[in-house]
Structures are given as C-alpha cells and as structure tokens.
Amino acid sequence: MPFAEGASINRPPMFSGVNYAFWKIRMKIFMESIDMGIWDAVVNGSFVPMLVVKEEIVKKPWSDWSESERKKDQYDSLTKNFITSALNMYEFFRVSQCNSAKEMWEALEVTYEGTDDVKRARKHSLIQEYELFRMQSEESIADVHKRFTHIANHLTGLGKVFDKEELNIKVLKCLDRSWQPKVTTIFESRDLSKMSTAALFGKLMEHELELKRFKE
C-alpha cells in the first residue's frame, strides 16, 4: 500500500513550518523506531572519543577508533540526514549551518517553542487551562476528547509528566452532572491507574451512544 510523503513508516514525517508540536512528537517516535542511538544524538549531541595523553584529555585520532566508536560517531550524521530529509526548503535553510543534530533540533525548538523563558510561560498558561478544564454545554464526548488531548499533548511536549490515573481522574471530574452515574460506576469498577485515557474516552463514547439510542 503506497504512503503519502511524510506518512510512511520508512520516511520521516515532513515539516513545513505548521503544527510543530505534532511533528516533534512524530519525529521523535520515528527516530526511536529506527535506532535509539539516533535519538540519543539529538539529546546528548555528537559522540567524540577521547583519550588521556600526558595527563591531558585530547580527541582520539580517527585511525585509532574502535568499530563501536565509529558506529556511535555515525549516529550524528544519520540523525542530521533524518532531520533535514523531513524539512521543506525554507526550514532546511533554518538549520543548514548547524554543526550537529542536537543543534538542528534546538534551533527548531527555539524557533517554534521559544526560549526557555517563553516555554515556561506557555507551560504555566497551559497548566492553568488544564486545571480549569470542564465539559462545555452541549459538548459531545468526542469534542471533550479532542480539546483535552490537545492540552495534554502540548504540556507533554513542554516536559510536563502525567500518569494514567491523574489524567483519567481529571477527565471524569470535568464532566457535567448528567454524567455523574456513569462516573461513579467507572470509579467503582475500573482501575484508573491501568486504563489508558483513550480507553476511558472509548467507554464514555459507548455510554453516550447508549443514551442517544434510549432517547430515540
């Protein structure tokens, strides 16, 4: 089955300057699926073998590198190739002068997420939005799911860590009073620390369909 560009399991997802948060998560997953050493090059930078010569730490001559050291060094080049292959021409020129994959990744992060101060401000704003999250009048469970996932994913991208139980309790508590009987049943019958948020929303959507059929 053919894949559109940017949607193949064998090619990195394309980025054209739109929806960076979505692309960033997909790109991380793609690189990890190929080799964890590729993602490590993004996180920790390029690998440079060192040795001690007369009590001084110097770069090890390439001719003396072991096979494993050469493989580790190659990860940076592979990662740069993956990143640049995922960018359109405009975005490519944004990172083309970077010397390492880590620099490329950070250049894109600063451009689309801002500096650390900007990211902290955005994170605090999203946390407040998350804490005040409530189901709106006449809103379907699908709509709640879409809004909630959008906020949670953006917070995850900014370094916020959630566990399953925390997210599930938040979802159940944000529903309006008409959902109270179902919420009570789920609290009593389900282990919220093991259920995924997607599975929880699936249960809520099933109940919503049952209510619609009952009304009809």
User: 144-157, pLDDT tens digit by residue?
Assistant: 999 999 899 888 87
pLDDT number for residue 1:
36
Q: What pTM, to 2 d.p., does this model score?
A: 0.60
3-state secondary structure 115-165: CHHHHHHHHHHHHHHHHCCCCCCCCCHHHHHHHHHHHHHHHHHCCCCCCHH
Confidence category of residue 107, pLDDT binned at 50, 70, 90:
very high
What's the chain's average pLDDT? 86
Q: What is the pLDDT of residue 72?
A: 82
Cβ atoms of 155 and 130 closer than 8 Å? yes
Within the chain, strands assigned E span: 50-53, 56-59
Higher-pLDDT residue of 170, 46: 170
